[in-house]
Amino acid sequence: MDTTSKASVVFVLLLVQAGTILLATIGELLFMGGLPFYLIVPVIRVTLLLFFGVMMLRGSRTGLVGIIVLQALSLAGLMFSIGVGLLPQVDFTLTLTGLATTVVLPIVAGFYCVQMLLGVRREPRPSALGAQAGPPDPTLPLAPQPISGGRA
Amino acid sequence: MSTLLIGIAPEHAAGLVAGLLTLVVGAMWPGGSPSLVDKWARALLAFSGALHLFLPFGHPAGALMVSGYVLSGLAFLVLAWRAHVGRGWRIGTAILAPVTVVAYLINGEDPDQVGILTMLLELTAFGLAVATTRRVGRVFGSVATVFTVFLAGAVVWIASFVAHQATSADSQNPSVGHSHEGEHEHLARAQAGVIMRPLPSHHATPAEVSASIDLAAATSRGVKRFARLEDALAAGYQFNFGQDKGLNVHLEHKEYKKDGRALDPEKPESLVYVIEDGKATLLGVVYVMEKAGDPGLAPGGPITRWHAHNLCVSIMPPGLGIVTPYGGCPAFSVQITISEMMHVWVVDPPGGPFAENIPDEWARSYHREHGLPS
């Protein structure tokens, strides 16, 4: 399975995640009387998501690590919500869409990123083999390539 | 787990099962394009196709609606097959997915959790079509994907709240989110800020009507002593979140919330006032169950219908929001569902004593005439 198309799938999942976060942010903003203060953290989160996504598409290892960290934070938040839901005063409502966006999506995106990261690490470096520095090999995982997963 | 099932309209269960089975079969299907983008597109499009094909089973739709389901289902399956064999699927998906979503939204197809999930998966397929190729322009495709996910969710959200408010229209027919000639209550299954249990029956029996009238009368008698705001404060009620002015000011009694009694007209957990212009008017009460997740007592059957709210409590910065139709919260938030509650009004508003809400204009007008100095 080619890494480029894996990165493309992860990038689209991040776009979907960004849309859902922005929607939730507007919900909170309206609830809290439109105070722009409440925009700061979600906008930073979405910016980071997309920034790391673009870095990943360009073959950056930092982008992969960044995405893994953000998805791990999402899952940790979910675990915390489930834990809080065990208190008698509150409950945790599991929904189909919540399962998709807060469980499946972060796990899949994070898993693919880990796979790509391990793929990068396993790949022998040209310098280690005594090769001369040159243009990136397009067959290497995460080498900058046109993002295309198939024909239009 | 029960809330997960509440979100699934029984009429959509066959479609959901068919979609999930297609995912499993598709994953085991041999051969096909090696591209992961194609594989994901195939899975998402096949899920949607199978779901649409099976929606007419158990779904009381007319011939036009059934034709629409079948045709869109077949179109999605054709695109899924093309993705499987690595032939062009992007342009078809970029057109079909948003058109289908728009059709859901403008046709008044009230979404339950199955509907919202399907919409989200179709929009993900749309993203795969437009944001993974330079032919359309990755930047444009990316912006379009984020925007469509946001917009579709916002429309569903607004529709579900409008439907929730609409219960005020007829307290004898609490048909939140009815559609398809009153057969469904999908918007009550959107679970986006409001959680409601499905009703066994939409029509109250004579005994239930009588019980609801008794409860409304007992509540009016029970809280007469709190007509003056000062008396409520003296009895231990406190402003919720410090809000002490407005058309919908809630005061809660912390002791009554944990006294082990439910639906006690003498000791309602919360009182609702209008407080404006130096005057206060008691509008009604909110009965609240002690333990979250416990179903409310409903002596009036569908007339005395309880609801809960699933909320987002953000930690950084501290704040409150509501869970989206996609089941999410803003960054650094905890998702909680509070105990079930039910309003009972003592001022005979439009919609009767069990209406979900009182219109602002009506409350303001009533307050002008009946408000007591506070």
Residue ranges of the domains in chain B? 2-166, 204-373
User: Residue A54, class by beta-carbon neighbours within 10 Å (0-12 exposed, 13-18 middle, 19+ buried)?
Assistant: middle
pLDDT over threshold 80, residue B195: yes
What's the rounded Cα separation, in Å, for the pair B148 and B146? 6
Residue A146's pLDDT is 43
Range name among A29-43, B118-132, B215-229 with the lowest pLDDT average: A29-43
- Of residues A121 and B330, more confidence is placed in B330
Are A16 and B120 a contacting pair at CB < 8 A? yes
Q: What is the mean pLDDT of residues B171-188?
A: 45
CA B256 to chain centre: 28
Domains of chain A, by residue range, sit at 3-84+91-120
pLDDT over threshold 80, residue B209: yes
Q: pLDDT-based confidence at B108, cuts 50/70/90?
A: low
Token look-up 């408010």 returns: B165
Q: Which helix (H) or strand (E) holds B7?
A: none
Look over chain B and give the mean of its residue pLDDT values, rounded to a whole number: 86
Residue of B nearest to A99 (CA): B327
Residue A149's pLDDT is 43
- Of residues B1 and A70, more confidence is placed in A70
Residue of A nearest to B314 (CA): A28
Cβ under 8 Å to B: A residues 77-116: 77-78, 80-81, 84-85, 87-102
What's the rounded Cα separation, in Å, for the pair A140 and B201? 62
pLDDT over threshold 80, residue A107: yes
Are B321 and A24 a contacting pair at CB < 8 A? yes
Token look-up 């925007």 returns: B147
Number of Cβ atoms within 10 Å of the Cβ of B106? 9
pLDDT over threshold 80, residue B3: no
Q: Which of A10, A12, A57 to mutate to test the interface with B (most CBs of B within 10 A)?
A: A12
What's the rounded Cα separation, in Å, for the pair B9 and B159? 17
Q: What is the mean pLDDT of residues A21-49?
A: 91
pLDDT over threshold 70, residue B247: yes
Range name among B148-157, B173-182, B194-203 with the lowest pLDDT average: B173-182
pLDDT over threshold 50, residue B109: yes
pLDDT over threshold 90, residue B223: yes
Whether chain A has a CB inside 8 Å of the CB on B341: the answer is no
pLDDT digits (tens, 9 = 90+) for A84-95: 988 888 888 889
